[in-house]
Amino acid sequence: MKTKRILIVEDQADIRKLIRMTLDFGDYELHEADNGDSGYNLALTVAPHIILLDVMMPGSMDGLQVCEKLKKNPDYARTKIIMLTARGQQSDIDTGLKVGANSYMIKPFSPLELMDTIDKYFAEIEATGALV
């Protein structure tokens, strides 16, 4: 069976734990990072199929910059990126989509909706034969 890899990039430990507990319902290989810089580097190392990316993070790269950098890299242009934002501001959402995010979820997010989105993306990835 092919491994479905998900990377969680989120600075709040409680939210990371919550996402991990939610994703434990599925059969995924999970990786975690607590800031943009390490998240970006980990993405290059583990080549996840899906990245859950917090927008606001301390450090020299926030979620939007990580997303933009990855999407500019042809090897990661097809990686599905779900932005997690604490603010429902339209400007954040617009910027997220502009830099290539596939979708966004506003915190407090619904774990059920998250699972559904991830299932939908893995179905798409499998359909294109990109699950390696």
Residue ranges binding other proteins (CB under 8 A):
11-15, 18, 22, 25, 35-36, 55-62, 64-65, 87, 92, 95, 107-112, 115
- Token representation of residue 130: 């990109």
Q: How far is CA 11 from CA 55, 57, 81, in A?
A: 10, 6, 17
**Between residues 78 and 87, which has the closer beta carbon with respect to other proteins?**
87
CB of 60 to other proteins, least distance (A): 5
**Between residues 26 and 130, which has the closer beta carbon with respect to other proteins?**
26
**Between residues 31 and 69, which has the closer beta carbon with respect to other proteins?**
69
Q: Give the HSE-up count for residue 48: Cα atoms under 13 Å, Cβ half-sphere.
A: 28
